[in-house]
Structure 1
Amino acid sequence: MNIEGRNILITGANRGIGAAFVEEAKRRGAATIYAGARDVDSITAGGVERIRLDVTDPAQVAAAANTAGDVHVLINNAGISTGTPLVTGDEESIRREMDTNFYGPLRMIRAFAPVLARQGGGAIVNVVSALSWFTTPMTGAYAASKAAAWALTDSARLELAEQATHVVAVHMGLVDTDMSGGVAGPKITPGYLAGAALDAVESGAQEVLADEWAAFVKAGLTLGPAQRYEKIFGALGS
């Protein structure tokens, strides 16, 4: 499916990766771009339809589906990271991450699946993470929420196959955004990630490994847990 002439909704569209998706969709000739964010005044891009959209609020998700009833592509990008460990961390922070990073995309998919069906199937892009495949002591909540989002992506692909909805999982290591500002290491640009994701929509690919780090981590899944983490943390320290 070409992006040109299609209608796209992007969550978390006010900054970082979401804002890059807006610009990439424009560059590819999208017809209507619905830019969703909790604070619509923070959406500075021109030529978009701004939607007040907190993915943790079922009423706002339902309202978005009514407003954007002609969407061909849903991009689930909105996410948070609180730096919370699972065993000793604040339970409310863990719930916040799950509510935004897992239940948020789930709500959006459930609300927009009928919309996409009316459009012939359409596509869903879930921005996941290489942290869906491993964790660190201070990213337990984020990794758990992204692992759940990965399972959601695979389940949605199977459940929506009958209506011909193309579902894409986007995995990456570090992207140069505010969220990764305090983390050292090579980073790809938000624009590069957005381009790789929309390339997958247009080519029919089901999974994007946007950088070498994502590919490296996925390859480690064939190893046992101890060996896998020795390899990953060795690479992190090198």
Structure 2
Amino acid sequence: MDIKGAVALVTGASRGIGRAFARALLEQGAAKVYAGVRDPATVTDPDLVPLQLDVTNPDHIAVAAAAAGDVDIVVNNAGILGDRGNLLAGDLDVARQVMEANFFGTWAVSRAFAPVLARNGGGALVTMLSVASWRGSALTPGYSASKAAQWSLTQALRDGLREQGTLVVGVHVGFVDTDGAAWADGPKVSAAEVAEATLKALRDNQVEVLVDERARQLKAALSQPL
């Protein structure tokens, strides 16, 4: 897919990976990038078009799809981690909130923008996943479950949007050097590396991005005995 001249929407674009996606799209020639955020006042980059979009709010999603009718790339990046270490204790309502944002939010945005992408020639739909899609963790059970569900959804969207010509891309990565992963030890890649690898996949019409060595190792291990 040609990024130059494209119009994109990035959810959760005010910081971290979302902001890196938005900047990389502009730097690689996108004509316009909508920054989908809960509070448009948090978008301080004058090159971005702020768009109020809480992915758990159906009204926000409907208004955004109507306002951004020129979009041909959608990046589903918005998501939350939730509580850590709540496998056998803690509030399950937090896990429900994580699922609502990461899984149902991605699904709702994708459903709303699928007709927009179809009208504009097919375009691309990108889902920001994680190595947690493939590996459950007692430390982040709600997050891991939401990412596994999101991975399954990404495959379903790839199947369902094939006829309209939409490229559906899943992005897997280990720890990324953002505020959200400040608690984590171990190697981290930059948000800019995630964005660069993903945009390369878009240019090459690739459906899966394995950003770092951790993602490549876990993907390879899926075919191995437990």
Structure 1 and Structure 2 fold alike (TM over 0.5) = yes
CA offsets per residue over residues 197-220 of structure 1, 9 Å max, x none? 111111100000000001111112
Aligned residue in 1 for 2:208: 207
Does the Cα contact within 8 Å between 1:80 and 1:101 map onto a contact in 2? Answer: yes
Aligned residue in 2 for 1:185: 186
Q: Which amino acid aligns with 1:9?
A: L
How many aligned residue pairs are there? 225
Which has more helix, going by share of residues? 1
Q: Bigger shift: 149-158 or 216-225?
A: 216-225
Aligned residue in 2 for 1:230: none
Aligned residue in 2 for 1:105: 106
Q: Which amino acid aligns with 1:16?
A: G
In the alignment, does 2:209 pair up with 1:171? no
Does the Cα contact within 8 Å between 1:8 and 1:32 map onto a contact in 2? Answer: yes
Q: Bigger shift: 41-50 or 85-94?
A: 85-94
Gaps of at least 5 residues in structure 1 are: 226-238
TM-score (norm 1): 0.92
Between the aligned partners of 1:146 and 1:87, the Cα distance in structure 2 is 20
The 5-angstrom pairing of residues 100-179 of structure 1 reads 100-179=101-180
Between the aligned partners of 1:117 and 1:86, the Cα distance in structure 2 is 41
**SS of match in other structure, 1:9:** strand
By how many angstroms is 1:61 displaced?
0.5
**SS of match in other structure, 2:99:** helix
The 5-angstrom pairing of residues 1-238 of structure 1 reads 1-84=1-84, 85-225=86-226
Between the aligned partners of 2:83 and 2:223, the Cα distance in structure 1 is 27
CA offsets per residue over residues 53-75 of structure 1, 9 Å max, x none? 10000110011000100100000
Q: Bigger shift: 196-205 or 78-87?
A: 78-87
By how many angstroms is 1:108 displaced?
0.5
Between the aligned partners of 2:73 and 2:182, the Cα distance in structure 1 is 29
Aligned residue in 2 for 1:231: none
Q: Which amino acid aligns with 1:121?
A: G
Does the Cα contact within 8 Å between 1:172 and 1:213 map onto a contact in 2? Answer: yes
**SS of match in other structure, 2:192:** helix
Identity of aligned residues (%): 46
Between the aligned partners of 1:86 and 1:200, the Cα distance in structure 2 is 35
By how many angstroms is 1:224 displaced?
2.7
Between the aligned partners of 1:25 and 1:60, the Cα distance in structure 2 is 23
**SS of match in other structure, 2:163:** helix
By how many angstroms is 1:221 displaced?
1.2
**SS of match in other structure, 1:161:** coil
**SS of match in other structure, 2:222:** helix
Gaps of at least 5 residues in structure 2 are: none
By how many angstroms is 1:86 displaced?
4.2
